[in-house]
Amino acid sequence: MKKILISFPVKSYYLEFKNVICFLLKKDYQLGIILSWLDSETEEIAKLLRMDCQVFLPPKELCYIDMTNEKKRGNEKQNKYQIFLKDFLTTIRAKSYVKKIIKDFSPDFLFQGPFHSVCKIDNFLLNFKNAELKKLCFSYSSYAGKKVKLTSFKNRIKENSIPKAYGVKYSLINRLVSFFLKRWIISLRSQSYFIFPPHFIIISLITNSSIKAPKRQPQKMYDRYYAFNNMQKKILIDDGIPESKILVAGIPRLDDVYSLFEKNKLKKFYKNLSLKFNQKYVIYNVNPLWEHNVKSRKFHFDLLNSHFDILKNKKIKIIISLHPLCDISDYVYLESNTNTTISRKYNIYELYPFASFVLSHRCSTNILSLTFNKKVLISDPMNLFSNLEYQETFEMYKLDTVILTRNLLEYDEKFNSLYNDLKDDKHSKIKIKRASSLISNDLQTL
């Protein structure tokens, strides 16, 4: 029996790939799952997986830390020697942990998402030398490639959201090591930052928990890459990945959507959203600016309210899709508008195929517009798309399905244009490739 080891450093990877797990369990595979993130659901997910899989829960210090705490830590003055020693010992422990898993479980295949880190479990897994171990990379987002990584980091510099300790000019030590770690630095105008804390970079180079190309995501060390669609395949090829290593498998999370096309389930779907059967609706995909600590609560809700001042008078139903970080209690007031409902049961993947069009922001789920051929009206409150480099980097925003708006007047005008162009035909069943099946079949060829 072939063995497959799957690593999930963040919950979003698990959510994207769990349908593949279910499919592989029906085949003749033994699965080992590493869950190296910590939140309120980790134990519950581990308990569920243990029914059919061997589950590895690393010690807390080896798991990915909360980004908010990382930023706070990066802005505080601390004893550098104590920090270095503590993180060095933790990295050594991660190395031993991975070595033991590989020895005890002895996998034939390793599945990872396109992680971007140093000194972590995933780094040791990818760098583990075993000629017989096939290493496979699945997608979890439409964002991929070196250009996207660079542009996203530069935007974080603009937003002042990078910890101060990452700065080249932050300390004398940072200035000194910058001469030897130039490929780990990204600059914008007069500001230069290390991609990771410099002491972590040094530790990773010492312990073989580094990444070969710091400005690339994913790395070029996999035997197979599973892409969402041809657009993502092109991005990977442009980034130097051989076409022979790429398979367009589709989006695993969409495998669940198949069942919704059954008439009885579709009736329940519309009823749950307070809609008549086949009633037209528009998705409003909430931009979690406040929840992601990008903007203040006031800015976030002022923007949201300005949109709904426009939308509340529209004659079509607005279905709100909340980001997982959003607390529904902060948004229920929007349902005072008679044409507005928050989707409590169905996520945006399930809402997409039956929507008339989508109101969104710079979100990875916009890639669904390609699968379901939906128009996406994008609000750009931070004026990112006025930057030519940004437009050229994100292939998605060059698509015919995407409409960018720079202000509320444009937002209103473009909404009305999309609404007036709606047709009366009912939803037809959209053929979706079952990604789980394609990935499973592909394993037979490797």
Q: Which of 281, 288, 272, 290 is nearest to 360 (CA)?
A: 288
Beta carbons of 319 and 355 less than 8 angstroms apart: yes
Summarised one tens digit per residue, pLDDT across range 32-83 is 999 999 888 899 999 999 999 999 999 999 998 644 444 444 445 557 788 8
pLDDT for the residue 74: 47
- How far is the C-alpha of 265 from the C-alpha of 129, rounded, in Å? 48
When computed from its CA atoms, the radius of gyration of the chain, rounded to whole angstroms, is: 23
Beta carbons of 32 and 3 less than 8 angstroms apart: yes
- Count other C-beta atoms under 10 Å from residue 220's C-beta: 15
Helix, strand, coil shares of the chain, percent, nearest 5, are: 45, 15, 40
Phi (first) and psi of residue 38, to 5 degrees: -125, 120
CATH numeric code, 2-248 = 3.40.50
Task: State the average pLDDT for the chain.
Answer: 88
Beta bridge partners of 321: 285
Which residues fall within 8 angstroms of residue 294, CB to CB, at 6 or more apart?
159, 161, 382
- How far is the C-alpha of 31 from the C-alpha of 45, rounded, in Å? 15
Summarised one tens digit per residue, pLDDT across range 392-433 is 445 666 677 888 888 889 899 999 999 998 875 555 456 666
- How far is the C-alpha of 240 from the C-alpha of 396, rounded, in Å? 19
- How far is the C-alpha of 273 from the C-alpha of 354, rounded, in Å? 12
Summarised one tens digit per residue, pLDDT across range 237-291 is 988 999 999 999 999 988 888 778 777 888 999 999 999 999 999 999 999 989 9
- How far is the C-alpha of 310 from the C-alpha of 1, rounded, in Å? 59
Give the neighbor-by-neighbor strand order of the sheet with 134-138: 54-56, 29-35, 2-8, 109-112, 134-138, 224-227, 246-248
- How far is the C-alpha of 149 from the C-alpha of 229, rounded, in Å? 19
pLDDT for the residue 195: 95
Work out the angle at residue 414's Cα, subtended by the Cα atoms of residues 411 and 418, and round it to the nearest 5 degrees: 135
- How far is the C-alpha of 383 from the C-alpha of 222, rounded, in Å? 36
Could you tell me where the DSSP H helices lie in 365-425? Answer: 368-372, 388-393, 408-420
| H or E stretch at 302 | helix 297-311
pLDDT grade, residue 384 (50/70/90)? Answer: low
Q: Which of 197, 205, 174, 207 is nearest to 89 (CA)?
A: 207
Instruction: Report strand pairing: 134-138 vs 357-360.
Output: unpaired
Beta bridge partners of 319: 283, 341
Summarised one tens digit per residue, pLDDT across range 341-378 is 999 999 999 999 999 999 998 888 888 888 888 999 98
pLDDT grade, residue 301 (50/70/90)? Answer: very high
Summarised one tens digit per residue, pLDDT across range 312-327 is 889 999 999 999 889 9
Beta bridge partners of 35: 8
Domain boundaries, the chain: 2-248, 259-420
- How far is the C-alpha of 91 from the C-alpha of 98, rounded, in Å? 11
- How far is the C-alpha of 149 from the C-alpha of 143, rounded, in Å? 8
Is residue 264 packed enough to be buried (19+ CB in 10 Å), middle (13-18) or exposed (0-12)? exposed
Architecture of the structural domain at 259-420: 3-Layer(aba) Sandwich (3.40)
- Percent above pLDDT 70 for the chain: 90
Per CATH, 2-248 and 259-420 having the same topology is answered yes
Q: What is the arithmetic mean of pLDDT over 98-103? A: 96
pLDDT for the residue 42: 92
